[in-house]
Amino acid sequence: MHIPTLIERKREGGSLSASEIQDLIAAFTSGKMPDYQMSALAMAIYFKGMTTEETAALTQAMLHSGSVLKWPAEAPLRVDKHSTGGIGDKTSLIIAPLLAADGLWVPMISGRGLGITGGTLDKLESIPGFRTQLSEAEIHQVIESIGCVMVGQTADICPADKKLYALRDVTGTVPSVPLITASILSKKIAEGLHRLVLDVKFGSGAFMKTRSEAQALADSMCRTAEAMGVKTQVRLNPMDEPTGLAAGNALEVAEAVCCLQGKGPADLEDLVLDLSAAVSLSSREQLRAKLHAGEAWVIFQKMITMQGGDVTALEKMAQLHAAPVIHEVKSPASGILTRLDARHIGLAILGLGAGRAQADDHIDPAVGVDQMLKVGQSIHAGEVLLRIHARSQAAAEAAEKEVLQGLTIR
Ligand code: URA
């Protein structure tokens, strides 16, 4: 294999064969292909794209760069959902135990926050003691006992993706449909799934700003996952306002607990039920009944305990992580809220310390916003629009400024 020739071919818009892609990924994973050549190839793919066959070959190559979870032949159906990220989106915390309560297995490998979008692992780590890094043996033990597990990528799962993602992150090659498709699906397929639902967000707080961009990503992921034998459903969901009433790590766990107890905000519960029903054998109504009967809540508590977390913390997350400043943002006008822009809320909570600017930044679990008004609700001038949880008054004021830029009341 002459790597420069393959890079040049892709640069000129040509195609790579499955065996060439396989050899490139193997060489990159083993260190034989240097980062500068892979960066050049990623940039060529960014500009020229990949065919469906190339994307499937790249996904296969990344999947087989490491180990794949293996399950007993008689094990229940394995299902999962993947969301392309949003603000205040804590649905995974509810969906995994709900589907487990439905008799399915959910070996959920999740990620961390990226830019302004939150990450499931960061949320879970606000629960004292909770471990997101489990060995494969521990993953099996938790799943076989309760039907769901929520973990980070292990060192053995898709090492090619780990290395390539880190490179893309610093070479301007993240927003490429084939590269995103292969990155996300290689990790999901490594879970040994039968069914997958993809929650592809579009709007101000999402990776994909327009519905048509989201549709292109959804089509690519759906085609590739189906070609690899995973029955896949897609849901395109707007991310113009945050999901639920809270955004920020511990505040989102608190809201997820409310939802698991059947007392969650309507938009959050609706999204949970839509996505769960897409991969379940039960209907939306049957899933709602399970959620309201507390079946998912029981499994969630067991999962927290089995993964080392303090289950007694779950109903007092906000008190445990009380931020020193709780600042009420008052509405500047009377009328109907027509916009509470997810991007501005995301930037506000990033500024408070709920996310990272660099990969090794520390996350502050306590900060964020809660008690958000929802679009369509009415408010009088001077009434509370939302609360900001901050480390200092100055940080709260900076966050308020950001929030107010994303606000429209008519
Ligand atoms: N999340 C991933 O895991 N990979 C991507 O490429 C984008 C988001």
Tell me how far the alpha carbon of residue 242 lies from the centroid of ligand 1, in angstroms: 20
Residue 32 in this model has a pLDDT that exceeds 80? yes
Share of the chain above pLDDT 70, in %: 100
Query: Residue 114 has what pLDDT?
Result: 74
- Domain 79-315: give its CATH code: 3.40.1030.10
* Domain covering 3-63: architecture: Up-down Bundle (1.20)
Q: Where in the chain is the domain with CATH 3.90.1170.30?
A: 322-409
Helix (H) or strand (E) holding 83: strand 79-83
- Write down the H helix ranges in 228-316: 249-260, 266-279, 284-292, 295-306
Task: Tell me, yes or no, if 183 is annotated catalytic.
Answer: yes
359 by Cβ neighbours in 10 Å (0-12 / 13-18 / 19+) ranks as: exposed
Sequence-ordered list of residues with C-beta below 8 angstroms from that of 19, at least 6 positions apart, any chain: none
Residue 359 in this model has a pLDDT that exceeds 80? no
The residue contributing the CA closest to ligand 1 atom 2 is 184
pLDDT tens digit sequence for 143-196 = 999 999 999 988 899 999 999 988 998 888 988 999 999 999 999 999 999 999
Q: Is 184 in the pocket of ligand 1 (CB under 6 A)?
A: yes
Q: H/E/C letters for each residue in 147-198?
A: CEEEECCCCCCCHHHHHHHHHHHCCCCCCCHHHHHHHHHHHHHCCCCCEEEE
Residue 299's Cβ-side half-sphere holds a number of Cα atoms within 13 Å equal to: 29
Measured between alpha carbons, how far is residue 233 from residues 197, 225, 269, 397 in Å? 5, 10, 19, 42
Q: Is 180 in the pocket of ligand 1 (CB under 6 A)?
A: yes
Q: Is 183 in the pocket of ligand 1 (CB under 6 A)?
A: yes
pLDDT tens digit sequence for 289-337 = 999 999 999 999 999 999 999 999 999 999 999 999 999 999 999 999 9
- What is the rounded average pLDDT for all residues in the chain? 96
Q: Where in the chain is the domain with CATH 3.40.1030.10?
A: 79-315
Residue 353 — very low, low, confident or very high, per pLDDT cuts 50/70/90? Answer: very high
Lowest-confidence region among 13-27, 147-161, 272-286: 147-161
The residue contributing the CA closest to ligand 1 atom 3 is 184
Superfamily for 322-409?
A: Pyrimidine nucleoside phosphorylase-like, C-terminal domain (3.90.1170.30)
Sequence-ordered list of residues with C-beta below 8 angstroms from that of 300, at least 6 positions apart, any chain: 93, 94, 96, 97, 257, 260, 314
Q: What is the pTM of this model?
A: 0.94
Q: Which of 114, 176, 213, 217 to mutate to test the pocket of ligand 1 (most atoms within 8 A of CB)?
A: 114
Tell me how far the alpha carbon of residue 85 lies from the centroid of ligand 1, in angstroms: 9
- Which atom of ligand 1 lies at the shortest distance from residue 180's CA? 6
Query: Residue 174 has what pLDDT?
Result: 86
Q: Is 118 in the pocket of ligand 1 (CB under 6 A)?
A: no
Which among 257, 386, 266 is positioned nearest to 319, based on CA atoms?
257
Q: Is 111 in the pocket of ligand 1 (CB under 6 A)?
A: yes
pLDDT tens digit sequence for 209-249 = 999 999 999 999 999 999 999 999 999 999 999 999 999 99
Distance separating alpha carbons of residues 221 and 58, to the nearest angstrom: 12
Query: Residue 112 has what pLDDT?
Result: 83
Query: Residue 316 has what pLDDT?
Result: 97
Q: Is 113 in the pocket of ligand 1 (CB under 6 A)?
A: no
* From 183, 204, 276, 331, the catalytic residue: 183
Task: Tell me, yes or no, if 123 is annotated catalytic.
Answer: no
